[in-house]
Structure 1
Amino acid sequence: MSGNKPPKATIEIGNKSYETTLGTYCWHHNGKGECVDKVGPVELLKDQKPVNVHPGEKITFKMDYEPKPNEIHVEQINKNNSIEIPVKVNSFFAPNEKGIYYYSYGVWWMDEKEENVSNGDAFYAFVIKVE
């Protein structure tokens, strides 16, 4: 794994790109490992302005890094309710119901040879407002 912390991740909505905020991660580089624990997405983004989206609009994850993570989980948080969102080809769709939604985009670089061994993981947070 290159770099001393996980790569940047962005979300693409329409033809615009938006930064995500790096949360908790564990990263292995040059034989050393570092784990950083941060608060969850709602606390992490409390001062951030949500990205405005249309109901059902496509949201795509982008990461300019090789190798790509080989395991992905997305959690949606709205009014203290949390659900896992299915992701297909690095994309998912915004909810149809108006409101503010927080997301945790968790990615893992699982070892190709050793089962259940992670070479790094990272959680990225972002917030949207469905109008």
Structure 2
Amino acid sequence: MKKSYFIIALLGLINTGCTNNGVAQEKLSPPRAFIEVDNERFETILGTYCWSSKGQSECVDKAGPIELLEGSEPIEVSPGESVNFIMEYEPKPNKIHVLQISNNEESEVKVSNHHLTAPTQKGIYYYSYGAWWMDEKKESISTGDANYAFAIEVK
């Protein structure tokens, strides 16, 4: 009789271990990010990233911004309009890099306080917004990074 209880308890422990205590394992990915133009929010597309949480890490390699945004409509903006990058997550990334792609040419974009200014010339512009969460104590060690893609059309 005691042996059968032991086997049932053992099977229960094994089953519990396999199901993560009945709790669905949360997806390991960086926070969502948005673009805000004229007080309207637009979601970005998550590109390549490496993210760590609760002792687990995951790195995912994805296509570039133009390929990621294929089939989606660009965000309409006026020439020189303010474009803000919004992330409702703490801590905020402490290192960023923005790349603009237009007519098969890439250029770095100046960003100040998660804000950039739309080009003044009409056209469609693709962006890769790279964000890094760098370790405050260990130089050049990232605790997570993510690239977000979005496109604007200057009208």
Q: TM-score range by the shorter chain?
A: over 0.9
Aligned twin of 2:97: 73
Map of 1:34 onto structure 2: 58
Poorly superposed stretches of 4+, deviation over 3 Å: none
Shift of 1:4: 2.0
Aligned residues: 130
Higher RCO (CA 8 Å, separation ≥ 6 residues): 1
- Larger Rg over CA atoms: 2
In the alignment, the residues of structure 2 paired with residue 50 and residue 115 of structure 1 have an alpha-carbon distance, to the nearest angstrom, of 37
Match of 1:51 in 2: 75
User: Percent sequence identity over matched residues?
Assistant: 57
Where does structure 1 lack aligned partners over 5 or more consecutive residues?
Answer: none
Whole-angstrom distance in 2 between the partners of 1:102 and 1:60: 15
- Which residue identity is paired with 2:119? P
SS at match of 1:77: strand
Deviation string for 1:29-60 (max 9, x for gaps)? 11121100000000110111111100000000
Matches within 5 A, 1:1-131: 4-131=28-155
**If the length of structure 2 is used for normalisation, what is the TM-score?**
0.82
Structure with greater helix percent: 2
Query: What SS does structure 2 have at the residue aligned with 1:95?
Result: coil
User: Runs of 5+ in structure 2 lacking a partner?
Assistant: 1-26
